[in-house]
Structure 1
Amino acid sequence: MEALFGIVGKDFVVTASDRTSARSIVIMKHGEDKSRELNKHTLMLYTGEAGDTVQFAEYIQRNIQLYGIRNGIPLSVHATANFTRRELAESLRSRNPYHVSVLIAGTDPKTGKPELYWLDYLGAMVKMNFAAHGYASYFCMSTMDRYWKEDLSVEEAISLLKKCIAELKTRFIAQLPEFMVKVVDKNGVREIQL
């Protein structure tokens, strides 16, 4: 019952994740942050099995930071997405694969160009202008397809995000009461309130 969203704008990416941690029909926790800042300009949102998600996210975050320390330059969003995809693909061939689906959002600090990558637990990766994981994808991809356009402003992207959340509240049987919204741009990652 999880939901992750990502929307690419003119020079930023807006992301949102529900803040509920649940298993089956039981809500275990409210206020969960399902994202990790990988470096100053890259953010990863994750969904999947509770133990896998946290362990995998911390593993990716630490390795991306280690690369930056060793080489004196942070990984680009594209390189981060490829590293993450490789780790998911390699875990499939192990005895304990990660059951984690990921959105990687970021901007190139030099050009300011935004990027959004959709990765699933099977190691598939696609660069997209808008993306969703979890039950949100069943209800909101058509809304994002209808209203997304190139050069969205922050206000327009947030308005589109609100439409998606309203669609979930109208059509989805389970209520996801709270969402964490973050914007990634050339200045870094920041959280905003809806």
Structure 2
Amino acid sequence: MFATGIAEEDRKGSYVDRSISRPCNFEISQQSPVTHTQYPYVTGTSVLGIKYKDGVLLAADMAGSYGSTVRYKSIHRLKAVGSHAVLGASGEISDFQQVTQYLDELVLNDYMWEDGNKLGPQEIHSYLNRLMYNKRNKFDPFWNSLVLGGVENGQKYLGVVNMIGVHYKDNHVATGFGNHLARPMFRNEWREDLTLEEGVKLLEKCLLVLFYRDRSSINKFQIAKITEEGVVISEPFALKPNWDFKAFHNPTLGADGSW
């Protein structure tokens, strides 16, 4: 009935591809579950990072959004990696958890060598670059933008890698809406000799703007400080907003096509 080379159904109900002489059970393959993330579901928003005089500061809120609903409000999106680096993540929370598991294994294996050497922030960032690019090439990306900050031998390090492996280093970085709202403020106000107090104040200013303008952000934040002495991630805290700005009284004033 069929020409040679076309899949035929044998008496057992499986399919045989005559062109390659190998049984192919299409029924099983079609019913196999998808085991990787096809779309981001529970996501986190912006992560901010700056260098200051004595180290690096990272900041993020603690929201986990299910679509447009802020479903979870105690998600830790800043994680210490080793003793002198911190990773922050935007995007899919479950993918971020998988990345942190890989990093925990990497740091543990490095520690078990007991050779006196430790993975520094530059090596960890390089690992993340290759991890994200490798996943992208398999059409199974981690749906995250990652920020890594650290200090090693007095050298401050701050880098970013996104879901397709694009990476860079800078004195100040941001992901998500922070790229549009916080980076311009960093360009205007960041200095290389910022003190810890000035750096924290600048981050809080940017976090407050993101809280005003990003519907996925909440008023519950953490800031991580990385210095030569180690890593300190703050307890969750809130900022005092000001809703008396004139633009907040009538947000649709002058907007064409508004209600």
Determine the C-alpha separation between the residues in 2 that align with 1:174 and 1:94. 30
Separation in 2, partners of 1:43, 1:51: 18
| CA distance in structure 1 between the partners assigned to 2:173 and 2:212 by the alignment | 20
Which residue number corresponds to residue 103 of structure 2? 60
Q: How does 1:22-171 map to 2 (within 5 A)?
A: 22-70=65-113, 72=115, 73-108=117-152, 110=153, 112-171=154-213
Report the CA distance between 1:174 and its aligned residue. 4.6
2:227 counterpart residue number: 185
Task: State the Cα RMSD in Å.
Answer: 1.7
TM-superposition CA deviations, 1:32-91 (whole Å, max 9, x none): 111221110011111211221111222123213322322532112111111110111111
Runs of at least 5 residues in structure 1 that lack an aligned partner in the other structure: none
Alpha-carbon separation, structure 2, partners of 1:175 and 1:124: 25
User: 1:8 Cα shift?
Assistant: 0.4
Contact persistence 1:40–1:188 (CA under 8 A): yes
Deviations 1:133-165 (A, max 9, x none): 112222111001110011211011011111102
Please state whether the residue corresponding to 2:53 is helix, strand or coil. Answer: coil
Q: Describe the shift of the 1:2–1:174 C-alpha distance in structure 2 as closer, same or farther (beyond 3 A).
A: closer
Q: 2-side partners of 1:44 and 1:100: how far apart?
A: 12
DSSP-derived class of the 1:102 partner? strand
Highest RCO, 1 vs 2 (Cα 8 Å, sep ≥ 6): 1
Give the CA deviation at 1:170: 3.4
Q: Which SS does the other structure have where 2:99 is aligned?
A: helix
Counterpart residue identity of residue 70, structure 2: I
Residues 1:4 and 2:47 are matched in the alignment: yes
Residues 110-148 of structure 1: CA distance to partner in whole angstroms, max 9, x if unpaired?
3x2211001111111111101111122221110011100
Distance 1:179 1:27 in 2: 14
Task: Name the structure where strand makes up a greater proportion of residues.
Answer: 1
Query: What residue ranges of structure 2 are gaps of 5+ in the alignment?
Result: 1-43, 238-259
How many residues get paired? 192
Q: Distance in 2 between matches of 1:84 and 1:68?
A: 18
Moved over 6 A (4+): none
How far apart, CA to CA, are the structure 1 residues paired with 2:92 and 2:162? Answer: 13
Offset of residue 173 of structure 1: 4.2
Question: 1-side partners of 2:108 and 2:172: how far apart?
Answer: 26
Q: Which residue identity lines up with residue 13 of structure 1 in the other structure? A: V
Letter in 1 for 2:54: D
Alpha-carbon distance in 2 for matches of 1:170, 1:38: 31
Which residue identity lines up with residue 135 of structure 2 in the other structure?
S
**SS of corresponding position for 1:151:** coil
1:122 partner SS:
coil
What is the distance in 1 between the residues matched to 2:160 and 2:220? 22
Distance 1:38 1:6 in 2: 16
